[in-house]
Each structure stands twice: as structure tokens, then as C-alpha cells.
Amino acid sequence: MLKRQSRRDGANWVIGFTAMFLARIEGTVVATARHSSLQGCRFLVARRLEADGTAAAEPNVVVDWMGAAHGETVMVSTDGDIAREKFGNNTPARMVVVGMVDAGQHFKAAGSAA
């Protein structure tokens, strides 16, 4: 899911996209030093899920306050506004877990073999 955003940046308009994607939780990240706005948050290692359900090669570190568990499928938002609303305007967080998936269904593209 992409959400088109535009904002005025000085004399120019900046147009970008905010994405939400499904990911599988593969582990945790331990941080002995962290930004003060992220005290009490968990950092998780998550791999984006492709449309066919396979995991992408590159892992992402996401911020979690919902209690996602290892192996769980979650919905991740790259919208920094969600993190700023939750953790304060100066937080460096961007990718956050915004939901835990109970069930999902994969759809084949039109004209592809079943």
C-alpha cells in the first residue's frame, strides 16, 4: 500500500510515497545506547515478505511497541509520522510495527497459472 504525500520544502514541493508492507519477525536487536525518545521500545529484525510469501534478502530493523513475537507476520509502516506521533517529534525512528497479521491470502496476477 502506497500513500502519496507532498509537502513544501522551502521553495520546492517534495512528493514521496509512504509504504506499508508485511514482514516476518526473525529476531531482536540489543542496543545498549539509544535515542532518549526510544527508551522502552523493542528493536526487531524483520524481513519484508514478497507478494508470493517469500522473504526478501535484506533484513530491516523495526521499532515495536505491540509485542510481536519471533516468526510472527506483522504489518510495518515506513511513515515517520506514526513514529513521531508515538515517540515525539525528534525521534529518529521511521519503520514501525503497526499491526500483527492473523491470516493472509496471496493472490495470483491475472493470466498467471494457478
pLDDT in tens, the chain (114 residues): 444 444 544 555 555 555 889 999 999 999 888 888 888 889 999 999 988 888 989 999 999 988 999 999 999 998 888 888 888 888 888 899 999 998 766 555 555 554
In a domain, 23, yes or no: yes
DSSP 8-state secondary structure symbol assigned to residue 38: G
Domains: count for the chain: 1
Q: How many helices (H) and strands (E) does the chain have?
A: 1, 6
Rounding to the nearest 10 degrees, give the CA dihedral for residues 48, 74, 106, 3. Answer: -70
Q: Could you tell me the CATH number of the domain that includes residue 55?
A: 2.40.50.220
In a domain, 43, yes or no: yes
In a domain, 9, yes or no: no
Q: Which domain holds residue 85?
A: 17-32+39-100
Determine the pLDDT at residue 88: 81
Determine the pLDDT at residue 25: 96
Query: Angle CA(64)–CA(27)–CA(55) in degrees, nearest 5?
Result: 95
Per DSSP, the three-state class of 5 is: strand
In a domain, 96, yes or no: yes
In a domain, 66, yes or no: yes
In a domain, 45, yes or no: yes
pTM as predicted: 0.72
In a domain, 8, yes or no: no
